[in-house]
Amino acid sequence: MLVILLFVAGCSLQPAAQPTSTPPVTSQSPVTATEAATSAKPLWEVGKNPLPKGPGGFGEIRPTPPELVNRALPTKDILPPPADGRYASTIAPIPPDVLARSTWQPGCPVSKDELRYLTMSFWGFDGRPHTGEMIVNAKVAEQITGVFAKLYEAKFPLEEMRVSAPAELTAPPTGDGNGTTAFVCRPARGQTNWSAHAYGLAVDINPFCNPYSKGELVLPELASAYVDRGRVRPGMIRAGDVAERAFAAIGWTWGGTWRTPKDLMHFSATGS
């Protein structure tokens, strides 16, 4: 499970005015630059507010901010969205520039040749199709693109999908990440052995909407409102839903079935 940074922005272009024979009509209350900047401010800026450190090196667990109780932040495109709106995916060796910005290093438990770089269509909480990226083990690449095809068909929303960066492993916790990801070269939580993510054999989906919990610990640290699974909101994974069925069809286990901890975001080929 990772804390992923997301910044939301938007812009629009107006066509150039055509010459006319009459003076143009102007607004009686023109929008100032300050007003424009205020109106363009996103609902929530992910990763902008580090939390004080709590036990175990995690951030301090805090109540979910009102802006995130029904989280539906728009997606910032990192790749061109699908041109025709239909699901599309690619599988390829990891390009050198992508490898350089990933968490892979020579000491990882898999070689770079054992991994694959995927691009896949997904639906955002903004109701629009987007294209995301993911690194997974080569052995499961085709299966994973099939899983996300099912999620796309069902319009199951994802906030973002991108390759995890090395800086994210040591960044101060902000408790508000919600990025869907797979390969991350790191140990299992609270252990010294490698995580299934380090082999490219695990996927975390919408971590904020599907938090990890063990006792009083909730990760991401601001996601406590989503520990209550009785209040169903978009992006949540539930027993028997399209996400669990799609991963179960390829033999993967859902962390939501564990007794403790509950890792609602987590699917893995290893069961761990």
pLDDT tens string 155-197: 999 999 999 999 999 999 999 999 999 999 987 766 678 999 9
pLDDT > 90? residue 117: yes
Average pLDDT across the chain, whole number: 88
- Across the range 111-130, mean pLDDT stands at 99
201 and 220 Cβ atoms separated by less than 8 Å:
no
What's the whole-model pTM score?
0.84
What whole-number distance in Å separates Cα of residue 45 and Cα of residue 119?
A: 25
pLDDT tens string 123-136: 999 999 999 999 99
What whole-number distance in Å separates Cα of residue 205 and Cα of residue 265?
A: 5
Domain residue ranges in the chain: 83-268
79 and 119 Cβ atoms separated by less than 8 Å:
yes
With CA atoms as reference, report the closest residue to 64 among 154, 143, 175: 175
Geometric angle at alpha carbon 249, from 246 and 253, rounded to 5°: 85
* Proportion of the chain in helix, strand, coil states, percent, rounded to 5: 20, 20, 60
- Across the range 90-106, mean pLDDT stands at 98
pLDDT > 50? residue 5: no
